[in-house]
Structure formats: structure tokens, C-alpha cells
């Protein structure tokens, strides 16, 4: 029998995140499942939501948390592909399935998207309710901290689908946070020959160097363009901007005919772009956002251990310690922080 209340990390508005007692959520639709949360990762989104001033919007009095793994404890009457006791990871972006973009097979662009842990209660809690269509089974032998990273990995895979990576290619990844390092890991797996990672936060730069994924440099202290030219002769085949603010730099570092992939979201980043550079270099510039039909592949990558995401986990904390994890991420002193509610 379930408890009636649970501890949860609730966003109360204007950067206030409070761990307090909340009612255990109940299933209210026939297609919903109740999940007992095993582990939930702190995303950069939560860091932005709780920043002063906030750099990302969220609904006040909402339980945060959307990158998680857990067990199905109850299910609605029409849920037929999941059983009580199944271990699942969750796509936190609940798409309507009916709007123009959903019918164009672009559910990650849904016009009526509801985001778990932003628009409605999320997984920094003992229990969480989601629709069954966004839950995907994952094997028991995948470590909980790794399984909790399925959501960002699925977003990374969606981004990589937008480029044609070939063995021997060169690439630059701007930003050595979790997303950037996941991209770097997969690029190595795909046979990229020369890989440069740019990171200005010294703790993260040192962490990235220990992973031996490629050449790591601080563009505030070293000339990135000279380094890329020295390594490639012509510029990188592909440049990934994971910061959301380095499009101009990306255009500068990519070779003629190369591809720039814009991943990070920074709504405050405004900078003039030399459009003629994109035109005359015949560069492809592609934006990438959320997962789109890539959750099954993300689960396969984790189950097959194609990359080792446990290397990115720098701390595991209780729910009561969530502010410590947020502060470490805010200071750039952590990479992937896991909460075990």
C-alpha cells in the first residue's frame, strides 16, 4: 500500500526550490502509470530555472525533475504494453499526437507540448505519474545513475541524426558539460579522427581531459581557430555548439561545406552573425532540440554499453541534498549529478 505523502523538491517561484511533503500523485486517466522513482538526474534546465534571475521558465509550485528511471507501481485500465513492476525511463515531453507537427512526425515540435517537471509535477520525488506512451522499458542490469541519463542521451542521438559522421572526420564540440561529453563519446565511437573540445570552466576542462576523448582547450586562454586549423588544415568537418551562444565561433571554426549543429538553448544569447560567411563557405547550419523517436535507440546504447555514461556521474545525493548538487553544477564543478529520492 502506497504512502499518502512524500518528500519532493518543489519550485515555488523566483528561484525558490523547497524540499517538502507533497501528496503522492494518483492516476487520473486510463492511459497513465504511477512510477516509483529510482534515480533522477539534475539537468541544466533545473540549474537555469533556479538561477537568480531565472534563465528558464517553469510553473510555480511544480515538482521539478525530468531525467529519471523508476518502476511501474500502478497502471490505468488501457495500459497494455507495460506491466506493474516494469523498470522504465521516460520521455518527459508529453506530445498531443494530433497537431500539425505531431502528424508530420515531429512530436518534439508539438504545438501543445507539456513538459514534465516544468509544466506539471516531475520526478524529484518518490513517485511520479506520466502517460504510458512516453515510458520505455529498460533492463535491470543498467545502473540507475546511467539509466537516468537516457533522456539527454536520446536528445544527443537526435542531434547526431542530423549530420553524416564518417570515420576519419574532424569535429569540434563547444562545451564540456554532460551533453557535450556524450556527443564526444559517440563521435569517438563513430570513428571521428580529430576531436577538439572547447571549455572555459577549468574544473570541467580538467574532467574532460581525464576522459581522453580528444584535445581539450580553453578558448579564453588559447586560440581555438589556430588550433583547429593546425589539427585539420581547413577547419572542422562538424562543429557542435552545446552552449547555445557560440554560433559565430562555430561558423568560424567549420570548414567550407561543413556542418554546424546548434544544440544548447540560451535565450539571452544575442550576437551578430556574419551571414556572408555561411553563404560563401556553403555551410549547413542545423538546430536540434528534443528527442524525436530516439528513446528506443538510447535504451539500446545504454543496455549494450556502447558508451560508458557512468564516467560522467560526479555525485549521487539524497533529495534533501539537491541544493548542493545544483550549486556544484552552477559553479561548473560537477558534470552529472544524480538524486536518489
Mapping DSSP onto H, E and C, the string for the chain reads CCCCEEEEEEEEECCEEEEEEEECCCCCCCCEEEEEEEEEECCHHHHHHCCCCCCCCCCCCEECCCEEEEEEEEECCCCCCCCCCCEEEECCEECCCCCHHHHCCCHHHCCCCEEECCCECCCCECEEEEEHHHEEECCCCCCHHHHCCHHHHHHHHHHHCCCCCCCCCEEEEECCCHHHHHHHHHHHHCCCCEEEEECCCHHHHHHHHHHCCCEEECCCCCCHHHHHHHHHCCCEEEEEECCCCCHHHHHHHEEEEEEEEECCCCCCCCCCCCHHHHHHCCCEEEECCCCCCCHHHHHHHHHCCCCCHHHHEEEEEEHHHHHHHHHHHHCCCCCEEEEEC
Mean of the pLDDT values across residues 161-171? 96
Residue 339 clears pLDDT 80, i.e. is over it: yes
* Proportion of the chain above pLDDT 90, given as a percent: 92
Pairing outcome for strands 215-217 and 194-198: parallel
C-alpha cell at 95: 506530445
Among 146-160, 261-275, 280-294, which is the least confidently predicted range? 261-275
Residue 323 clears pLDDT 70, i.e. is over it: yes
CA distances (Å), origin 67, targets 70, 113, 147, 148, 306 = 10, 17, 9, 6, 20
Provide long-range contacts, Cβ within 8 A and 24+ apart, for 99-103.
none
Residue 271 clears pLDDT 80, i.e. is over it: no
Q: Both ends of the chain: CA-CA distance in Å?
A: 18
pTM: 0.95
Q: Are 290 and 283 in contact (CB under 8 A)?
A: no
Residue 15 clears pLDDT 80, i.e. is over it: no
Q: What is the rounded radius of gyration, in angstroms, for the C-alpha atoms of the chain?
A: 20
Residue 266 clears pLDDT 90, i.e. is over it: no
Per residue in 3-14, pLDDT (tens digit) is 899 999 999 987
- C-alpha–C-alpha distance, residues 112 and 289, integer Å: 16
pLDDT band (50, 70, 90) for residue 151: very high
* Average pLDDT in the chain: 95
Residue 217 clears pLDDT 70, i.e. is over it: yes
Per residue in 18-61, pLDDT (tens digit) is 999 999 999 999 999 999 999 999 999 999 999 988 888 899 99
Q: What is the dihedral of CA 174, 176, 180, 182, to 10 degrees?
A: 150
Domains and CATH numbers, the chain: 5-154+291-340 (3.90.180.10), 163-287 (3.40.50.720)
Q: For 54, how many CA atoms within 13 A lie in the half-sphere containing its CB? A: 17
* Proportion of the chain above pLDDT 70, given as a percent: 99
The pLDDT, as a whole number, for residue 1 is 63
Q: Are 126 and 151 in contact (CB under 8 A)?
A: no
The pLDDT, as a whole number, for residue 111 is 97
- C-alpha–C-alpha distance, residues 24 and 2, integer Å: 8
Q: What angle do CA 19, 24, 27 make, to 5 degrees?
A: 140
Residue 108 clears pLDDT 80, i.e. is over it: yes
Amino acid at each position: 500500500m502506497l504512502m499518502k505523502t512524500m518528500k519532493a523538491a518543489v519550485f515555488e517561484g523566483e528561484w525558490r526550490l523547497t524540499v517538502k511533503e507533497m501528496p503522492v500523485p494518483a492516476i487520473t486517466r486510463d492511459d497513465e502509470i504511477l512510477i516509483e522513482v529510482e534515480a533522477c538526474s539534475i539537468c541544466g534546465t533545473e540549474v537555469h530555472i533556479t538561477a537568480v534571475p531565472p534563465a528558464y521558465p517553469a510553473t510555480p509550485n511544480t515538482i521539478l525533475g525530468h531525467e529519471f528511471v523508476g518502476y511501474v507501481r500502478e497502471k490505468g485500465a488501457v495500459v497494455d504494453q507495460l506491466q506493474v513492476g516494469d523498470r522504465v525511463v521516460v520521455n518527459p515531453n508529453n506530445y498531443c499526437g494530433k497537431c500539425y507537427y505531431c502528424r508530420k512526425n515531429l512530436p518534439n515540435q508539438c504545438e501543445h507540448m507539456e513538459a514534465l517537471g516544468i509544466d506539471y509535477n516531475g520526478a524529484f520525488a518518490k513517485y511520479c505519474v506520466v502517460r504510458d506512451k512516453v515510458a520505455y522499458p529498460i533492463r535491470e542490469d543498467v545502473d540507475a545513475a546511467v539509466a537516468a541519463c537516457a533522456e539527454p542521451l536520446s536528445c544527443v542521438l537526435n542531434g547526431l541524426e542530423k549530420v553524416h559522421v564518417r570515420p576519419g572526420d574532424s569535429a569540434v564540440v563547444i562545451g564540456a558539460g554532460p551533453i557535450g561529453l556524450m556527443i564526444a563519446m559517440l563521435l569517438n565511437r563513430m570513428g571521428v579522427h580529430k576531436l577538439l573540445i572547447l571549455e572555459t570552466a577549468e574544473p570541467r576542462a580538467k574532467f574532460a581531459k581525464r576522459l581522453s576523448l580528444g584535445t581539450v582547450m580553453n578558448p579564453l586562454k588559447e586560440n581555438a581557430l589556430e588550433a583547429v586549423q593546425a589539427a585539420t588544415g581547413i577547419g572542422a568537418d562538424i562543429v557542435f555548439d552545446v552552449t547555445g551562444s557560440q554560433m559565430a565561433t562555430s561558423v568560424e571554426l567549420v570548414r567550407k561545406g561543413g556542418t554546424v549543429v546548434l544544440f544548447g538553448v540560451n535565450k539571452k544569447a544575442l550576437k551578430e552573425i556574419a551571414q556572408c560567411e555561411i553563404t560563401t563557405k556553403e555551410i549547413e547550419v542545423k538546430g536540434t532540440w528534443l528527442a524525436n523517436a530516439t528513446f528506443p535507440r538510447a535504451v539500446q546504447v545504454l543496455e549494450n554499453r556502447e558508451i560508458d555514461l557512468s564516467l560522467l556521474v560526479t555525485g549521487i545525493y539524497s533529495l534533501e541534498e539537491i541544493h548542493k548538487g545544483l550549486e556544484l553544477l552552477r559553479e561548473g564543478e560537477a558534470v552529472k549529478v544524480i538524486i536518489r529520492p
